[in-house]
Amino acid sequence: MSNILVKDKDIVIPGETLAEGMDYLPGDNTYREGEKIFAKLLGLAGISGRVIRITPLAGPYIPKVGDKIIGEVIGMTMNGFRFNTATAYSAMLNVKDASSRFIRNEEMNSLLSIGDSAVVKITKVTSQNLIDLTMKEPGLHKVTGGRIVKINSQKVPRIIGKQGSMINLIKQKTGCNITVGQNGYVWIKGTPDMELLVSKAVKLIEEKSHQDGLTEKMDAFLSSQVKDAPVQEAPANVEGEQ
Amino acid sequence: MVYTKRLDGRKIDELRPMEAKAGVIPNADGSAMFKAGKTTAYAAVYGPREMYPRFLQNPKIGVLRCHYGMMPFSGSGERIRPGSSRRAQEIAMVMTKALAPVVDLSAFPNAVVDVYVDLPQTDAGTRCAAISAAAIALADAGIPMKDMISSVAVGQVDGTVVADLCYDEEAYDAIVSDVPVAMTHNSREITLLQMDGEISKDDLIKALKLADSVLDKVYAEQKRALKERFPMDKGEEK
């Protein structure tokens, strides 16, 4: 006899019993002990078929190969740059992975210097969480202008939305360029007042990320805010500058 | 004279009114407030982050590090000198040992999770309130945990086994003992057990059974606080 004790999209706390009996399988962030399945994290329960999994509502960013992140240069060595990744671990970007040109040691500053931020991709993560980066692929570049806001990395999927619906909505309404790093850094570039509005919107999504119908709510929020600000001209200028 | 009526009029197994809230400190990665009667604990969790000093790092697993502090005028007696003391260090250590068995930091080698607990107002049972608050804060920070930890003090006042002693009871002019207990919720394992004063073997067993039953109330309050952290907008309840 198996028995499921939570509903889909219920908020569960660590150690909460999710199901009894062997008919269900423990998915992400859950574990089985004896006949029961328990939660390992604070999050939303998800039931798909026989598998029970938990989508975290909070928690640190876990670096994964292939993730695009935004990091800040915190140090330079003989052969590369050390990045802060908003985790407990810093990452290395080798000079030869930073540019397709040949960069001499003395010219490293022309590429990036300490304090700069860049959109980079993770190429390797070891068991000790040593991280290697690359900046050679399209869409990876140094961050120039605009502002960076930090959100919880677990909310990144909600900022982007299904097939990018949320982020496209915000881009379209405000005319800002937005780049979201998987580590929770969001780079916003546009006119100053629109940048401020986007950072407010991003914070709002972070706060309400567990609720349904978020895109509609954001649409209403942005429409009410954008009304009194003349922005139709501004986006064109931003596009023109680049 | 036997202690039949408690000084504050509670039943012998009745806890002080509790209140818990998660997410009270915006700058922390996770935070919680836990109040039991006139004892209030605020816990803030930071991390996992790089651990310094470096020789304390463990390359196999992340480290949990607790800090405990009573604020200068939090008690009813003399001003407490702020900062670390022999007592604060001891409580920080037992808190770490009480929480460590459920916290799973295997994914964060060389890193540290810092838990800071401060008590702006105290009336006995501070280490229990601190542990209960810290457990909520750790869950709120999204740290993987196998189980929840709840904590309460039980004890004996003049021959009567009672739960959740207040300061006046601890200072009662008779043979008194207070036994702080912390337990995991599912497996009912004891992760903190200390004792102050004198208690007979029979009374101790009775007290631990009492703790086992009243801790469910503490757990219910912790659970409520964590679930209320994510409110649904009106008219959206499913």
CATH number of the domain enclosing A48: 2.40.50.100
Mark yes or no for CB contact B238/A9 under 8 Å: yes
A74 reaches B (C-beta below 8 A): no
Q: Does the predicted TM-score (pTM) go above 0.90?
A: yes
pLDDT number for residue A228:
58
* Pairwise CB contact (< 8 Å): A88 & B48: yes
B234 alpha-carbon distance from chain centroid: 33
Q: Using the beta-carbon criterion (under 8 Å), do A60 and B30 form an inter-chain contact?
A: no
Interface list for A 84-113 with B (CB within 8 A): 87-90
pLDDT class for B77, splitting at 50, 70, 90?
Answer: confident
Give me the mean pLDDT over the B39-48 stretch: 96
Express each pLDDT in B117-141 by its tens digit: 999 999 999 999 999 999 999 999 9
A101 plus A161 within the same structural domain? no
Residues A237 and A160 in one domain: yes
pLDDT digits (tens, 9 = 90+) for A116-172: 999 999 999 999 999 999 999 999 999 999 999 999 999 999 999 999 999 999 999
Task: Give me Rg for the CA atoms of chain A.
Answer: 21
Chain B residues with CB inside 8 Å of A53's CB? none
Q: Which of A42, A62, A208 has its CB closest to that of B107?
A: A62
At B238 the pLDDT is 38
Taking the domain B18-223, which CATH number applies? 3.30.230.70
> Once rounded to an integer, what is the mean pLDDT over residues B200-204?
96
Is the CB of residue A67 less than 8 Å from the CB of residue A121? Answer: yes
Which chain A residue shows the shortest CA-CA distance from B224?
Answer: A13
Query: What is the number of alpha carbons within 13 Å of residue B160 lying toward its C-beta?
Result: 20
Domain that holds residue A84: 68-134
Asked if B111's CB is within 8 angstroms of A88's CB, the reply is yes
B147 vs A241, higher pLDDT: B147
Nearest by CB to residue A15, choosing from B59, B62, B147, is: B147
- Asked whether residue A153 falls in the same domain as residue A227, the answer is yes
User: Considering chain B, what is the average pLDDT of its residues?
Assistant: 94
User: In the predicted model, is pLDDT for residue A235 greater than 50?
Assistant: no
**B73 DSSP 8-state letter:** T
Give the minimum alpha-carbon distance from A73 to chain B in angstroms, rounded to a whole number. 16
Look up the CATH number of the domain holding residue A207: 3.30.1370.10
- What's the distance, CA A152 to chain centroid? 8
Domain final residue pick, A134, A162, A186: A134
Q: How many domains does chain A have?
A: 3
A208 touches chain B (CB under 8 A): yes
Same domain, A51 and A72: no
Q: Decide: helix, strand or coil at residue B193.
A: strand
Chain B residue numbers touching A60 (CB-CB < 8 A): 29, 47-48, 108, 142-143
A77-117 pLDDT per residue, tens: 999 999 999 999 999 999 999 999 899 988 899 999 999 99
**Cβ contact B108–A129 (<8 Å):** yes
Distance, C-alpha B94 to centroid of its chain: 10
DSSP element (H, E) containing B168: helix B167-170
Pick the range with the lowest mean pLDDT from A191-200, A210-219, B44-53, B55-64. Answer: A210-219
Q: Which residue of A has its CA nearest to B113?
A: A88
Q: What is the pLDDT of residue A237?
A: 39
CB B42 within 8 A of CB B190: no
Touching check for A41 and chain B: CB below 8 Å?
Answer: yes
On whether both A228 and A160 belong to a single domain, the answer is: yes
| Number of CB atoms found within 10 A of residue A110's CB | 11
Residues of A with Cβ-Cβ distance to B105 under 8 angstroms: none
Q: How far is A218 from chain B (nearest CA, A)?
A: 14
Alpha-carbon distance B169 to nearest alpha carbon in chain A (angstroms) = 34
ipTM of the complex: 0.90
The reply to whether A142 falls in a domain is: no
Question: Binning pLDDT at 50, 70 and 90, where does residue A229 land?
Answer: low
Interchain proximity B141–A89, CB inside 8 Å: no
The C-alpha atoms of residue B147 and residue B187 are separated, in whole angstroms, by 8
Of B3, B7, B33, B6, nearest in space to B18 by CA: B33
Contact B110 A38 (CB under 8 A): no
- As a whole number of angstroms, the distance between CA B21 and CA A107 comes to 53
Question: Is residue B237 scored above 60 in pLDDT?
Answer: no
pLDDT of residue B236: 46
Distance of residue B90 Cα from the nearest chain A Cα, in angstroms: 27
Chain B partners of A42 at a C-beta cutoff of 8 Å?
A: 139-140, 142, 226, 229
Tell whether A188 is covered by a domain: yes
Residue A63: inside a domain: no
In which band, very low, low, confident or very high, does the pLDDT at B3 lie, cut at 50, 70 and 90? Answer: confident
- Among B147, B183, B234, the strongest candidate for a mutation testing the A interface, having the largest count of A CBs within 10 A, is B147
**Is residue B110 pLDDT above 70, yes or no?**
yes
Pull the structure tokens for residue A91: 């990452």
According to the model, what pLDDT value does residue A213 have? 87
Joined together, the tokens standing for residue A232 give 């139709």
| For residue B223, pLDDT beyond 90 | yes
Q: Does residue A117 form part of some domain?
A: yes
For A99, A165, B113, the CA distances from B231, given in Å and listed in that order, are 47, 24, 27
